[in-house]
């Protein structure tokens, strides 16, 4: 929740309280008669929050948002679970930004093939990279390439109708058991989608192909597996409560796993969220001793890490199980947290599908400094660093590309405010200038895309997609019926 405190005089800072932090927002001074031309790469929450702050702070700012997809809003559309419609209300706020006369959307524009980063930097005073994380971390475990093993991102994009994954074919019909590696919110999302009654999902904006597959699913048992214990579970209490509240679900948690060490007690003392999660897990552990026939089952496995993915005896390269090594926690002197270490004891869990929810990963583009280990662009408060000490003038980052794939949608607002403040400071200090020959900005981008025969999707094209999806959804009692293929999205947008 945001609390605003009006500035007491022109040009003064406006104080904002956001999630307990005090932030200061400033209006940009009129440093030049020329517009400040800004290009934001990525139209997710980080990109739109940045655009909103820039448009409010600088009356001469012209902001263009480009995205490789024909649709805006990033993970709000393709990452937020379909049964979390209240979270998607933020799209209304972003749409108001998109309709601002000083803001333009360019969908179906790929940095790399459609336009290069260096070309964008030539055309704009400021380029802000906000394209998030579109890849996944690897486990490096034998058998990871077996059929039936997917990243949680791929599975989430599949059921959310992302056009890159509408043709994914997860093995739901022949498998009775699925293993989800990870215990964060995304892991809980995919487990909930697998276990929730499809009659309830049918009232959401889940992709039609996913709903049809889930209606025929044979999966009745899901294992949620974590390397550490209940005191370190990375989910939030809200997500956990929703998963545990699925109708007629048997939940299995070993009470012995809930025993707290002194180090656990210390961790829980310092985190209200983790205390609440531990309390919910403790209550669930004593709720029902055994499943009844036909009941769907959710099993929490703590203190396990995958050692090998096992293939079926049929020799078809299909995953048939996971060999887990049991772990114990050891205090890490560097981080102050407890790390999981192997014990040399192993156990197997049979399954027909594995979903890896072990973290997203950003990918670099040509000409961009990139920290492969951290998966971020090296930066100082959003300013891109060419090396440890030299600023890459005019180039900024925001969101997951800036801080790593952590936080919720609202976290991107604070992140955007910080990056916009850095842009403001650089303008005031003369690091950036708009006083010389004006940059071509939007006009230059339009000419370049035309010369390359790139048929971009404007915001009005997205509105056509939006209108069609909502209309078709209303006929089925859904918020929208998503269009899930590239061809149809582009066809509707350009109609």
- Binding site for NADP(+): which residues? 183-186, 227-228, 239, 407
User: Max alpha carbon distance in the chain (Å)?
Assistant: 76
On the 0-12 / 13-18 / 19+ scale of CB atoms within 10 A, 403 is buried
Burial of 161 (0-12, 13-18, 19+ CB in 10 A): buried
- Closest by Cα among 293, 192, 301, 180 to 252: 301
d(CA 391, CA 432): 11
The region that residue 9 occupies, defined by phi over 0 for left and psi between -120 and 50 for alpha, beta otherwise, is beta
Q: Which of 346, 312, 343, 318 is nearest to 328 (CA)?
A: 343
CA distance 30 to 145: 56
Helix, strand, coil content of the chain in percent (nearest 5): 35, 25, 45
Cβ pair 301, 225 in contact under 8 A: yes
C-beta separation of 393 from 366 below 8 A: no
Q: Distance of CA 141 to CAs 146, 324, 487, Å?
A: 11, 11, 37
Give yes or no for a contact between 268 and 275, defined as CB atoms under 8 angstroms apart.
Answer: yes
Q: How many Å apart are CA 181 and CA 226, to the nearest integer?
A: 7
Closest CA to 151 of 132, 138, 166: 138
Separation CA 59–CA 180 (nearest Å)? 48
CA dist., res. 422 & res. 291, Å (int): 56
Q: Which residues contact 22 (CB under 8 A, 6 or more apart)?
A: 15, 16
Binding-site residues: 46, 75, 111, 183-186, 227-228, 239, 400, 407-409
Residue 136 neighbours by CB distance under 10 Å: 18
Burial of residue 350, with CB atoms counted within 10 A of its CB: 0-12 exposed, 13-18 middle, 19 or more buried: middle
Q: Which residues are annotated as a binding site for FAD?
A: 46, 75, 111, 400, 407-409
Residue 38 CB contacts under 8 Å (≥ 6 apart), including other chains: 51, 54, 61, 62, 63, 64, 124, 125, 126, 127, 128
Nearest CA to 362 out of 63, 41, 39 is that of 41
């Amino acid at each position: 929740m945001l609390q605003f405190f009006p500035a007491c005089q022109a040009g003064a800072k406006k104080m904002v309280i956001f999630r307990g932090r005090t932030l200061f927002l400033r209006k940009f001074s009129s440093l030049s008669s020329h517009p400040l031309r800004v290009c934001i790469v990525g139209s997710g929450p980080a990109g739109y929050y940045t655009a909103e702050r820039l448009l409010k702070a600088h009356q001469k700012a012209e902001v263009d948002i480009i995205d490789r997809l024909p649709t805006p809003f990033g993970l709000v559309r393709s990452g937020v679970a379909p049964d979390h419609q209240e979270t998607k209300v933020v799209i209304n706020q972003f749409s108001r930004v998109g309709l601002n006369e000083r803001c333009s959307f360019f969908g179906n524009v790929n940095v790399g093939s459609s336009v290069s980063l260096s070309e964008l930097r030539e055309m704009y005073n400021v380029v802000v990279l906000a394209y998030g994380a579109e890849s996944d971390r690897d486990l490096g475990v034998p058998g990871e390439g077996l059929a039936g093993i997917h990243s949680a991102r791929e599975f989430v994009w599949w059921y959310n109708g992302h056009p890159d994954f509408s043709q994914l074919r997860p093995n739901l019909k022949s498998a009775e058991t699925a293993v989800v590696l990870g215990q964060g919110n995304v892991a809980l999302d995919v487990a909930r989608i697998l276990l929730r009654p499809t009659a309830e999902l049918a009232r959401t904006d889940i992709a039609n192909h996913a709903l049809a597959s889930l209606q025929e699913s044979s999966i009745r048992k899901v294992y949620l597996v974590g390397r550490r214990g209940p005191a370190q579970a990375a989910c939030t209490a809200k997500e956990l409560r929703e998963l545990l509240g699925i109708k007629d679900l048997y939940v299995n948690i070993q009470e012995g796993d809930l025993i707290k060490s002194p180090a656990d007690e210390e961790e829980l003392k310092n985190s209200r969220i983790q205390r609440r999660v531990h309390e919910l897990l403790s209550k669930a552990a004593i709720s029902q001793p055994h499943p009844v026939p036909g009941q769907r089952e959710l099993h929490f496995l703590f203190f396990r890490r995958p050692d090998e993915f096992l293939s079926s005896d049929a020799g078809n390269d299909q995953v048939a199980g996971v060999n887990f090594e049991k772990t114990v926690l050891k205090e890490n002197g560097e981080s102050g947290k407890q790390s999981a270490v192997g014990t040399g004891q192993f156990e197997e869990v049979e399954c027909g599908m594995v979903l890896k929810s072990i973290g997203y990963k950003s990918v670099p583009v040509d000409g961009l400094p990139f920290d492969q280990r951290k998966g971020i662009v090296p930066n100082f408060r959003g300013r891109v660093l060419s090396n440890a000490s030299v600023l890459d003038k005019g180039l900024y980052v925001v969101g997951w590309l800036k801080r790593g794939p952590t936080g919720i949608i609202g976290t991107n607002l604070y992140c955007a405010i910080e990056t916009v403040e850095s842009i403001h400071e650089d303008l005031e200090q003369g690091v950036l200038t708009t006083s010389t020959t004006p940059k071509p900005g939007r006009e230059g981008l339009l000419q370049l895309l035309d010369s390359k025969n790139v048929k971009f999707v404007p915001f009005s094209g997205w509105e056509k997609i939006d209108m069609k999806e909502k209309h078709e959804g209303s006929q089925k009692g859904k918020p929208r019926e998503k269009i899930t293929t590239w061809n149809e999205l582009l066809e509707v947008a350009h109609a």
